[in-house]
A and B are shown apart, each in its own frame.
Chain A
Amino acid sequence: MKEIFAHYSGGREELIPVLQETQQHFRYLPEEAMQEIARFLKVPASTVYGVVTFYAQFKLTPLGRKIVKICRGTACHVRGGAKILEEVEKQLGIKAGETTEDLEWSLETIACFGSCALAPVMVIDNEVHGRMSPAKVKSVLSGTE
């Protein structure tokens, strides 16, 4: 944590950037890290927890090694995005917002990825897969697509 704190001056407004960098490092926000952040920025731990639970980006449990994001934007919805989500949930055996027990996969939905022209879209790590269909899900997940 000291290494992370070295990038900041300790002002309250740095809470979100500090949390973002911490999460990038641990792949989630461990309780001890949040306590240390509270001490560093001189704010109550409850404030840190309040901010963490407000923003969708912050996670309290470890994320999987691969993160699948399903876009639930309007264009994706109109072009069948909900069916893609159902199929991914079925293939991975987890619901949106969950991580598989072996920590291999996390499944998230995001408001809109802004790649509406290629709807429906799913994203694995940072690779965007456009023009999806339920039948293509299996091969995209296994990386054979």
Chain B
Amino acid sequence: MNFEELQKKATAEWQSLSNLDHPHIIIGTATCGRAAGAMGVIAAIKNELAKHNIPATITQVGCIGICYAEPLVEIAKPDRPHIVYGNVTPKMVPQLIEDYLLHDNPHPELAMGTVGEETIEGIPRLWELPILKPQVRISLRNCGIIDPEKIDHYIARDGYSGLVNALKKSPQEVIDEIKKSGLRGRGGAGFPTGMKWQFCRDAQGTPKYLICNADEGDPGAFMDRSLLESDPHAVLEGMLIGAYAMGANDGYLYCRAEYPLAIERLKLALQQMEAYGLIGDNILGTDFSFHIKIKEGAGAFVCGEETALIASIEGKRGMPRSRPPFPAQSGLWGKPTNINNVETWANVSAILQHSGDWYAGYGTEKSKGTKTFALAGKINRTGLIEVPMGISLREIIYGIGGGIPGGKEFKAVQTGGPSGGCLPATLLDLPVEYESLAEAGAIMGSGGMVVMDSDTCMVDIARYFLSFTQSESCGKCVPCRVGTKHMLDILEKITRGEGTPEDVDLLLNLGKSIKVGALCGLGQTAPNPVLTTYRYFADEYEAHTRDKICPALACTDLITFYILADKCQGCGICLRSCPAEAITGAKRLVHVIDQSKCIKCGTCLEVCPTKFSAVVKVSGEEIAVPSEPVPVTAARPTAGTTAQDE
């Protein structure tokens, strides 16, 4: 079959799904959906359909990025707009199947939104929701829409037309198109992609290799996992285009082993491409040949660094080496090699499907196009989003993310993982661009965005990241191996309340030296979380060292929990919930925490009924409480309530 015939067949299959004479049920089953219970929901739906003898087609799709509302179920009845339901549980299934499919009650109170031209009263349009409306989805264009295990779905939505367009051009024209788009590396550093390709194309030596870096190691980042699970062909098509442009015949996709579903779907995608003649020798009847091998990582964060990743593919310890020579000159097996990250490749296929100018129409002068972000932490709407460059942090966190849960105050947002920094509330209007983030001391990074509220201690966050980089340091160069260990020791001392102001000076000095002295990106950026938290939150370092207080009440060595004698009603909830069995008391007796047993987990504070609010957490102050249980003297907060009601 030639490409037009493939397209025709794919389009027919795709359209048949929207013209079904029976209901179509679409469920997101990427890792997030599964973790939230999507597979149980599918089983319940199948049961319910069988019970009522309703014929229906069930399609599993990837992740649309509305993670906070997973599992998501979309129901399409013939001649009705699709309705998307969020937070679906097996218990809700009869309401969706029996009530809606049989009795036409769409349950607007359970629905999130509709898809399609017409609307249903009481249900907003899905793409008008605040989480989706500001988004421009280019690399995520098919995520949550197509079945990632069906190549026909991808082809029907313009898939592989970018490859066809590229093959009609000369390799240099393809590189020029990428240059025109202004695309920069989405792995974090932001090097112009077109220029990187040019270096590799112009490099002497054959064969040339091409690598897709899917070793997404930044904690708090899941863009690449989601993209590979939801639309693997978008990435693979990008690799084909790059291989043609740079003259490579062999490529590797290096994926971390923690992503088994992504690996499974990639393997399946490669088989389907082979069946369609889209990979292997003489692709689509041309003399362009390209082969892709999938390599599974083995659990080393440093392998996300390009030279370490190459060493790992060669079967060695994943240790970086100094550059130059850059991989474009001497990479895998000493040959010219180009490495781009998952999201970059997915943008490449979109750019060739449209044009470089089209892509450059989004974003800002120096940061073109769009960027995906994984929103997590203390934010109402956690999810995976794609926005035009230049959008402000405020629009992302408050507009799309819906702000901070529990009405708490925003404190900082962490971008760029362990290499990045924490930006404070005063920078909320900062546009998201490579340059502006770097000036503020953070980095764009691969796209992890972890939001922190007033309960998060910035010194503890710095300690957390240092413990991460320290344990992931490969040990090759001294500044990183020894330096990060010293920084971590100092930070641990400070969070225990044993630090001095001199320790802070030493910490900052060490940080500056490691930045210039370390061999690779991991070491050079390891001090960033410390340097930015100090830059914006120096008062917290002072409170820990001078006053021995943790203002956020997070550092366990500096906090104490008390049960207030004048508030406790002796209901026993905290006693039963305490995992350390540190609480003594009995019905109608004031409960007491044995401080020597307390592990400071905060469970008692969480479970104490809000109308009593008898448990407090303090730092740097002592509260007088009875040493053993005494009869309750506190007045009941509301008439008629007894402790047993709780």
Residues of A within 8 A of B (CB): 11-17, 19-20, 41, 50-51, 54-58, 72-80, 83, 86-87, 90, 110-119, 121, 126, 128-130, 133-135, 137-138
Contacts and interface: CB of A to CB of B under 8 A. Distances in A.
Contacts of A119: 376-377
Contacts of B606: 133
Contact of B317 (A12, A54, A56): A54
A75 B296 contact: no
Contacts of A128: 31, 34-35
Contacts of A79: 377-378
Contacts of A76: 219
A106 B65 CA distance: 32
Given A51-B316, A74-B414, A128-B35, A117 B383 contact: yes
Contact of A121 (B35, B317, B318, B450): B35
B452 interface: yes
B60 interface: no
B130 interface: no
Contacts of A83: 599, 601-602
Contacts of B299: 55-57, 110-111
Given A118-B36, A135-B577, A75 B31 contact: no
A111 B298 contact: no
Contacts of B325: none
9 contacts: A54-B318, A74-B448, A77-B461, A112-B217, A115-B31, A117-B32, A118-B35, A119-B377, A135-B607
Give the residue among A13, A86, A90 with the most B Cβ atoms within 10 A: A13
Interface in B3-37: 31-32, 34-36
B298 A55 contact: yes
Given A56-B298, A86-B599, A117-B222, 16 more contacts: A13-B315, A14-B315, A56-B300, A57-B297, A74-B376, A75-B219, A75-B450, A77-B461, A78-B452, A87-B579, A90-B599, A111-B217, A117-B68, A126-B260, A129-B35, A130-B35
B603 interface: yes
Interface in B209-262: 216-222, 225-226, 257-260
B257 A57 contact: yes
A112 B218 contact: yes
Which 3 residue pairs spanning A and B have beta carbons closest together? A117-B67, A73-B219, A56-B299
A139 to B, nearest CB: 11
Give the residue among B68, B259, B317 with the most A Cβ atoms within 10 A: B317
Contacts of A73: 219-220
Contacts of B577: 135
A57 B257 CA distance: 9
B258 A114 contact: yes
Given A14-B315, A15-B315, A20-B296, A112 B603 contact: no
B320 to A, nearest CB: 13
A117 B225 contact: no
A114 B313 contact: no
A77 B452 CA distance: 11
B104 to A, nearest CB: 33
Given A75-B220, A87-B579, A111 B315 contact: no
Nearest to B578: A135
Interface in B366-420: 374-378, 382-383, 414, 417
B98 interface: no
B317 A51 contact: yes
B318 A114 contact: no
Contacts of B461: 77-78
B477 to A, nearest CB: 15
Contacts of A118: 32, 35-36, 67, 70
Give the residue among B313, B314, B450, B606 with the most A Cβ atoms within 10 A: B450
B154 interface: no
Contacts of A116: 220-222, 374, 376-377, 382, 448, 450
A88 to B, nearest CB: 10
Contacts of B300: 54-56
Give the residue among A11, A16, A51, A112 with the most B Cβ atoms within 10 A: A112
A41 B315 CA distance: 11
Contacts of A121: 35
A71 to B, nearest CB: 8
A51 to B, nearest CB: 6
